[in-house]
Amino acid sequence: MISPGQMQSLYHGMSEALIITDKSGLIESVNRRAEELLGMTQKELLKRHIHALLTPRQREIRSEEISKDKTTGLIMWLLNPAESLQGDSVNEGGASTFLAAMTHEIRTPKNGIIGMTDLAIEEELSPTLKEYLSIIKLSANSLMRVINDILDYSKIESGSLNMENIPIPFPVFLDSIVKLFTPQAESKGLEFRYHPEDDIPEIIMGDPVRIRQIIQNLLNNALKFTPEGYIEFSSYVDTDKSRIYFSISDSGIGIPEEKQHLLFKSFTQIDASTTRKYGGTGLGLAICAYLTSCMGGQIDVNSRASRGSTFRFFLPLILPEQEKDETGTVEEKKQDFHLSSEGPLILLLEDNRVNQLLAVKTMEKAGYRVVTAEDGFQGIKRYREHKPDLILMDIQMPGKDGYETAAEIREMEEGQDEQTPIIALTALALDADKKKIKKAGMNDFLGKPVSPIDLKEMLLKYCREK
């Protein structure tokens, strides 16, 4: 008879990579070969969800359920490096690039529909017209979420999804999300609870677009799957100040424990009836798991059928650089995100009239002054006339494109103490595009179509009070 110690030795000595999880997919044990394949220790892997863990590696490592214990509910998984043929990789890459390009072409007019609807709702209208416009906005936002999921998934598949690490004015950042979701919850008759801890830093480093994407995806799910009761959003820093946690709880339909292992798999929902009733692509949580992992964090779920759900994720807490002041005291370098009393002057180079109108209205309502140009030649003229505080530069313009225009402005500024920040507006921010953007002397970029939220965050980053 084999002793427990012999079984353990056999398990760890096997040439196959094995993982044991509970019935919900949380890791209970891994053998040495699995540690080698994943490049992580057993301590680092314990209690992580197997599919959330493997999401960033879906193209390289496949998991297969090979055994299930009916008594304990424990599941054994076999991990295998995925076989990849060069031809398939080329085809997949081409398909992903095509999908990203086509999805962008759909997003551009859709962004215009949503933006102009927002502007129309703020006008003096009859209650009936406001209701119609609100329904249009709700439907458009739902479609945009599907399009965004497809675009992000295509970027993940093609390996072109990158992360930023920039200062985020964090309490303001969280408040903006709360202000977006509170009225949505109230319109469904739900109580929206928000609990930020007092020790949340004023500024953290990270990718605001991707952090917002994870939180909003989880809050959207909570709204979708909670017919009555509450939604609760909280954030806090752990005791050793190394991680920042986010928690989204609800009193919704919950998730059966035996189905939770499916949550973080692409194109998967817990069953067909859920898809029919609530819709969705089945990509949202897989993308959340990928983004969280890429930023050095982890996501997990605690849920029971008909008892609600709690999704929690953490990210490394990174503060801005610290330096000593004249007295020798360590002081955090803070950035001022307040606008000047007159409002910074923005030069917008954009040839699409709908995109131009939407960007101008968004910036003017936020307190900025705006001058516009429809091509590079007009842009150079406006730059000479107005000396703007910041330039938003469309890359694909007729006549003189964004690269040429930015390079010419940098030549004109040669020898000056300060350069005008130039933000590129581009459809596909692949590595090659980013190198060209940097080479032309531009400071940063926004992916098109540009959302009002992303635009405001970029302006806050570069238009600081002088």
Q: Which of 120, 148, 124, 125 is nearest to 136 (CA)?
A: 120
* Low-confidence winner among 50-54, 163-167, 235-239, 267-271 (lowest mean pLDDT): 267-271
What's residue 115's pLDDT?
Answer: 81
Q: Which long-range contacts (CB under 8 A, 24 or more apart) does 291-297 make?
A: 291/210, 291/213, 291/214, 292/52, 292/214, 293/52, 293/53, 293/55, 293/56, 294/56, 294/161, 294/163, 294/210, 295/163, 295/206, 295/207, 295/210, 295/211, 297/243
What's residue 157's pLDDT?
Answer: 63
For residues 283 and 339, give the distance between their C-alpha atoms in angstroms, rounded to a whole number: 38
Residue that wins the pLDDT comparison between 326 and 198: 198
Residue 346, pLDDT > 80, answer: yes
Determine how many CB atoms are found less than 10 A away from the CB of residue 57. 18
CB 407 within 8 A of CB 440: yes
Cis, peptide link before residue 449, omega less than 30° from 0: yes
**String of DSSP letters for 21-81:** E-TTSBEEEE-HHHHHHHT--HHHHTT-BHHHHHGGGTTTEEEEEEEE-TTT--EEEEEEE
For residues 168 and 340, give the distance between their C-alpha atoms in angstroms, rounded to a whole number: 19
Question: Which parts of 200-270 fold into alpha helices (H)?
Answer: 208-224
CATH of 166-321, one of 3.90.1150.10, 3.30.70.120, 2.130.10.10, 3.30.565.10: 3.30.565.10
How does 213-223 read in b/e, with b if 16+ C-beta sit within 10 Å? bbbbbbbbbbb
The pLDDT of 429-455, averaged and rounded, is 81
Distance of CA 128 to the CA centre of its chain: 35
Domain ranges of the chain: 8-81, 86-158, 166-321, 345-462
Residue that wins the pLDDT comparison between 428 and 148: 148
Tokens of 348: 């917008």
* Low-confidence winner among 125-129, 225-229, 260-264, 311-315 (lowest mean pLDDT): 260-264
What's residue 86's pLDDT?
Answer: 42
Residue 453, pLDDT > 50, answer: yes
Model confidence, pTM: 0.56
The pLDDT of 79-96, averaged and rounded, is 55
* Low-confidence winner among 243-257, 319-333, 360-374 (lowest mean pLDDT): 319-333
Most confident of the ranges 123-127, 300-304, 402-406: 402-406
CA torsion, ordered 102, 103, 105, 106, to nearest 10 deg: 130
The pLDDT of 162-174, averaged and rounded, is 85
- DSSP letter at 259 equals G
C-alpha dist (Å) from residue 57 to 33, 38, 51, 286: 16, 9, 10, 11
CB 291 within 8 A of CB 298: no
Q: What's the pLDDT band for 103 if we cut at 50, 70, 90?
A: low
Q: Which of 337, 312, 315 is nearest to 211 (CA)?
A: 315
C-alpha dist (Å) from residue 432 to 12, 428, 436: 44, 10, 6
* Low-confidence winner among 294-308, 319-333, 385-399, 436-450 (lowest mean pLDDT): 319-333
> What backbone phi and psi angles, to 5 degrees, belong to 228?
-155, 160
What's residue 452's pLDDT?
Answer: 79
* Low-confidence winner among 12-16, 78-82, 307-311 (lowest mean pLDDT): 78-82
What's residue 465's pLDDT?
Answer: 44
CATH of 345-462, one of 2.60.40.1480, 3.40.50.2300, 3.40.50.720, 3.90.1300.10: 3.40.50.2300
pLDDT digits (tens, 9 = 90+) for 355-395: 888 889 889 888 899 999 988 999 999 999 999 999 999 98
Tokens of 290: 């990928």
For residues 286 and 269, give the distance between their C-alpha atoms in angstroms, rounded to a whole number: 11
Residue 252, pLDDT > 90, answer: yes
Residue that wins the pLDDT comparison between 353 and 419: 419
Tokens of 379: 């842009």
**Which CATH class for the 8-81 domain?**
alpha beta
Q: Mean pLDDT score of the chain, rounded to an integer?
A: 80
CATH 3.90.550.10 fits 86-158, yes or no: no
Percent of the residues in the chain that have a pLDDT greater than 70, as a whole number:
80
The pLDDT of 221-232, averaged and rounded, is 94
What's residue 199's pLDDT?
Answer: 79
Query: How do 27-30 and 75-81 pair as beta strands?
Result: unpaired
Residue that wins the pLDDT comparison between 34 and 335: 34
Q: Which of 251, 263, 256, 254 is nearest to 192 (CA)?
A: 251
For residues 50 and 29, give the distance between their C-alpha atoms in angstroms, rounded to a whole number: 11
What's residue 26's pLDDT?
Answer: 84
Residue that wins the pLDDT comparison between 400 and 262: 400
Residue that wins the pLDDT comparison between 36 and 334: 36
For residues 199 and 197, give the distance between their C-alpha atoms in angstroms, rounded to a whole number: 6
Residue 131, pLDDT > 50, answer: yes
pLDDT digits (tens, 9 = 90+) for 266-287: 655 555 444 444 445 567 788 8
Q: Residue 123, class by beta-carbon neighbours within 10 Å (0-12 exposed, 13-18 middle, 19+ buried)?
A: exposed
The residue type found at 161 is L
Element (H, E) at 322: strand 322-324
CB 392 within 8 A of CB 350: yes
Tokens of 316: 């490394």
Residue 348, pLDDT > 70, answer: yes
Q: What's the pLDDT band for 137 if we cut at 50, 70, 90?
A: confident
pLDDT digits (tens, 9 = 90+) for 384-435: 999 999 999 998 888 888 999 999 999 999 988 889 999 998 876 566 677 8
All residues at 6 or more sequence positions from 216 whose CB lies less than 8 Å from its CB, including other chains: 177, 180, 181
Question: Which parts of 258-324 fold into alpha helices (H)?
Answer: 272-278, 284-294
Tokens of 50: 């197997």
